[in-house]
Amino acid sequence: MIKRISLVFIITTIISLPFYLNAQNNSREDKELREKISQMLIIGFRGMELSPKNEIYDLIAKEKIGGVILFDYDVPSKKAKRNIENPNQLRSLCAEMQKLGNNRLFISIDQEGGKVSRLKEKYGFPPSVSQQYLGDNNNPIITKEWASRSARNLKSLGINLNFTPSVDVNVNTDCPIIGKLERSFSEDAEQVVKHAKIVIEEHNKQGIITTIKHFPGHGSSKSDTHKGISDITNTYDPKELVPFKELIEEGYVDLVMTSHVFNANFDSLYPSTMSYNTLTNMLKVQMGFKGIIISDDMAMGAIAKEYDLETCLEKAINAGVDMFIFSNNGDKYDKEIGYKAIETIFQLVKQGRVDKSKITNSYGKILKLKSDKGLQ
């Protein structure tokens, strides 16, 4: 009787083994896929210090997200209390996050200078000037000095990725999100290129990664993509592509940030972030860009008010986006947004709506950049 039971057990085990091994392989593959997806995300959060009670803690430690983005002002609560209080506090926060992330974390910020500055003088940080100020002076020595100051400050704080320079050409000086905020170097595309090179060079000297933005150009818009749709079909000027083209050709670019503008000249259905023709045909094929394409904040109205999470992620990844910013600093705060994004992309792959190779390719580019910059 004992031998008979043993034989049945052995036969059952042998029959079940392939199914078990297949399940184990699937589980391992699923885990690897989620890890790759996590690297594609840069998440915003609330908190002046790192705490296990904060959702960003597990997103860094367990999910191994690609990076975080820092803000001084919390838009949902309309309070100037987010991540930045003073230099010592911020330095400590960055160090704690980097340690938790095993020195593999993008710690990013929008520190263009002037009106787009998270590191303000009132918090104890050095002064800064706008890109328009630098362009108006049109003096390479002045631009170099201010860019060097900014980059040195970022390095001292532990920030390694700056979403600057803006290479939008100042086509419409009344543009509420570019011209009015003095974010463009010039209405002259070549002058934009000249000053953008200096800013990038000075950041690179300090080991700070830069990002040119907002592809394919936001300088001609009449409205703000933070608030909703911005159609530039009739205001767009071809010279807006010049800075992107020349900076890519001369090897100055690690990341290109998309804009959420709608331009029917390039795509009659989707905004740039979700447009295959704009990101793959134009940016990758025609301009030869092989680096990381990163979205502008997916919480902005031009995306979040028009598309559900599933649709915008599916279209954007298939269009060519490698990384996504979820600032969590739009109309509302969602502490689950990091997990939602991971699960949504995971299911899109499982359903065959996003090819797994796209995730693997993006993951490879992200890891290569991190390795090249000493983050692995």
Asked whether the bond before 165 is cis by omega within 30 degrees of 0, the reply is yes
Q: What is the pLDDT of residue 16?
A: 55
Type of residue found at 143: T
Burial class (CB in 10 A: 0-12, 13-18, 19+), 297: buried
Q: Which of 294, 209, 233, 284 is nearest to 259 (CA)?
A: 294
Q: Sorting pLDDT into bands at 50, 70 and 90, what band is 344?
A: very high
Residues 41, 47, 53, 57, CA torsion sign: positive
Supply the mean pLDDT for the chain.
94
Q: Which of 55, 38, 56, 41 is nearest to 97 (CA)?
A: 56
Asked whether the bond before 216 is cis by omega within 30 degrees of 0, the reply is yes
Pick the CATH number of 39-372 from 3.40.50.12160, 3.40.50.1820, 3.50.50.60, 3.20.20.300: 3.20.20.300
When pLDDT is averaged across residues 165-185 and rounded to a whole number, the result is: 97
When pLDDT is averaged across residues 17-27 and rounded to a whole number, the result is: 57
Burial class (CB in 10 A: 0-12, 13-18, 19+), 29: exposed
Q: Decide if 146 contacts 128 (C-beta within 8 A).
A: yes
Asked whether the bond before 214 is cis by omega within 30 degrees of 0, the reply is yes
Q: What is the pLDDT of residues 275-315, one digit of tens each?
A: 999 999 999 999 999 999 999 999 999 999 999 999 999 99
Burial class (CB in 10 A: 0-12, 13-18, 19+), 332: exposed
Q: 211: which residues sit within 8 A by CB, 6+ positions away?
A: 161, 162, 163, 164, 254, 255, 256, 257, 294
Q: Sorting pLDDT into bands at 50, 70 and 90, what band is 372?
A: very high
Type of residue found at 76: P
When pLDDT is averaged across residues 222-230 and rounded to a whole number, the result is: 91
Question: Where do the domains of the chain lie?
Answer: 1-34, 39-372
Q: What is the pLDDT of residue 81?
A: 87
Q: What is the pLDDT of residue 25?
A: 62
Q: What is the pLDDT of residue 302?
A: 93
According to DSSP, the residues that pair with 209 across neighbouring strands are: 161
pLDDT over 60 (residue 12) = no
